[in-house]
Amino acid sequence: MTPGKKGILERLDAGEVVIGDGGFVFALEKRGYVKAGPWTPEAAAEHPEAVRQLHREFLRAGANVMQTFTFYASDDKLENRGNKVTFTGAQINEAACDLAREVANEGDALVAGGVCQTPSYLSCKSETEVKGILKKQLDVFIKKNVDFLIAEYFEHVEEAVWAVEVLKETGKPVAASMCIGPDGDMHGVSPGECAVRLVKAGAQIVGVNCHFDPMTCVKTVKMMKEGVEKAGLKAHYMVQPLAYHTPDCNCQGFIDLPEFPFGLEPRILSRWDMHKYAREAFNAGIRFIGGCCGFEPYHIRAVAEELGPERGFLPAASEKHGNWGAGLEMHTKPWVRARARRDYWENLKPASGRPQCPSMSAPDGWGVTKGHTDLMQQKEATSQDQLKQLFDRSKSH
């Protein structure tokens, strides 16, 4: 811990609002530093300047957690399905920790080391094997002395519990965040029960991230909170949702949408949607509020601006952003100056500009999860024969 900084639990215990950062994987894919498909974070070692700059933009926007860019940095994911990287998992994880710490030290931010679900679990490997994979990442986080740990993006509570058990061995604060919606995990375990299991495993902060839009995620965390309180347990709560509208998603979330991942832009939330999300999350008793895929720094700035009264300050990036569009007072066109008011932006219903497109989609529903042969992973690249089988099957859904 950097001298003089309060830790994550100290901040949450005091009722402070902690703002997370955004979706590094999607943001860096759009910038040309991450490959869609494997979604692995070797950019931390290959292009540290890009990762550092994105950290700085989120810090300037108001985030006070710099999460290490270690999503899918487990050894089994780095070498899954023919993925080839020139750095080891340890090198990527170490570089990510150094970058997060460097930028965190430029402000009042903490560094969170993150692990997520593994191909090994989907392939039905044992608890010992899965924990061994996670522990390799954890060894780097201990070496680099991150401030706290996050087990995030888990579809199955069983694997999330295993991750918490591994992270707890460090004695550092542990947050656990699942990528589930109101229907629960992929084996039907309810959000409330998932949260109870995670708290009992040792997580002090529980919540959800990714897969669903902000309001759906807030609803899910409310269900977690109810379950924890009903069980007579205590925890802090976090939420880091998508920046995409997902009213048509099923239990698998946005990866089942036909637009995933290259056609999601029409679903993006506006900065004003983020104000509503931040307020809804705060009113639900959630105090660790951030974002995941699709979140850009301006989205996090909107969260920080909405919660400015509670935090007692605005982020540095607000120097270039008039409150509720106030900067438009300086526009040359009078009809644009007329939009420099809160009620205009708060009540706007944005058009997509796509008259031939539907407002919602029909998600794919293959109905497979851990334990199904279709989700068995492999080191070898996906073969043309395997792809043909998938193409043929997709036509029948």
Which pLDDT belongs to residue 3? 65
Specify the 3-state DSSP secondary structure of 105.
coil
Residue 3 located in a structural domain: no
Which pLDDT belongs to residue 85? 67
**Number of domains into which the chain is organized:** 1
Alpha helices for 145-213 (secondary structure H): 157-168, 191-201
Whole domain around residue 152: which residue ranges?
8-348+361-393
Beta-bridge mates of residue 111: 66
Which pLDDT belongs to residue 83? 59
Dihedrals φ, ψ of 108, to 5°? -95, 55
Which pLDDT belongs to residue 386? 75
Supply the angle between the helices 214-230 and 191-201 in degrees, to the nearest 10. 60
Supply the angle between the helices 214-230 and 271-283 in degrees, to the nearest 10. 10
- Residue 24 burial (CB count, 10 A): 27
Residue 1 located in a structural domain: no
DSSP state of 287: -
- What is the distance between the alpha carbons of residues 232 and 267, in angstroms, rounded to a whole number? 39
Residue 27 located in a structural domain: yes
Alpha helices for 231-306 (secondary structure H): 271-283, 297-306
Residue 354 located in a structural domain: no
Residue 109 located in a structural domain: yes
Residue numbers in the chain where pLDDT is lower than 70: 1-3, 73-85, 366-368, 370-379, 387, 390-391, 393, 395-397
Which pLDDT belongs to residue 2? 62
Which tokens is 350 given?
Answer: 């944005």
What CATH number has the domain bearing residue 43?
3.20.20.330
Q: How far is CA 332 from CA 92, 342, 348, in A?
A: 48, 19, 22
Which DSSP string do the residues of 312-348 spell out, in sequence order?
A: TS--GGGGGS-GGGGGGGG-SSHHHHTT-SHHHHHH-
Dihedrals φ, ψ of 129, to 5°? -65, -45
Which pLDDT belongs to residue 54? 98
Consult the annotation and say whether 357 binds a ligand: no
Which pLDDT belongs to residue 87? 86
Picking from 116, 121, 112, 280, the residue whose alpha carbon sits closest to that of residue 210 is 116
Number of H helices, E strands in the chain: 17, 8
Residue 282 located in a structural domain: yes
- What is the distance between the alpha carbons of residues 167 and 150, in angstroms, rounded to a whole number? 8
pLDDT per position as a tens digit, 6-23? 999 999 999 999 999 999
- What is the distance between the alpha carbons of residues 49 and 369, in angstroms, rounded to a whole number? 37
Residue 353 located in a structural domain: no
pLDDT per position as a tens digit, 342-392? 999 999 999 999 999 999 999 887 666 766 666 666 667 777 877 677 667
Consult the annotation and say whether 210 binds a ligand: yes
- Kind and range of the H or E element at 115? strand 110-116
Picking from 115, 73, 113, the residue whose alpha carbon sits closest to that of residue 92 is 73
Residue with tokens 């930028």, as numbered in its chain:
103
- Residue 345 burial (CB count, 10 A): 16
Picking from 159, 120, 175, 163, the residue whose alpha carbon sits closest to that of residue 138 is 163
- Residue 28 burial (CB count, 10 A): 21
Which pLDDT belongs to residue 88? 87
DSSP state of 154: E
Residue 173 located in a structural domain: yes
Consult the annotation and say whether 293 binds a ligand: yes
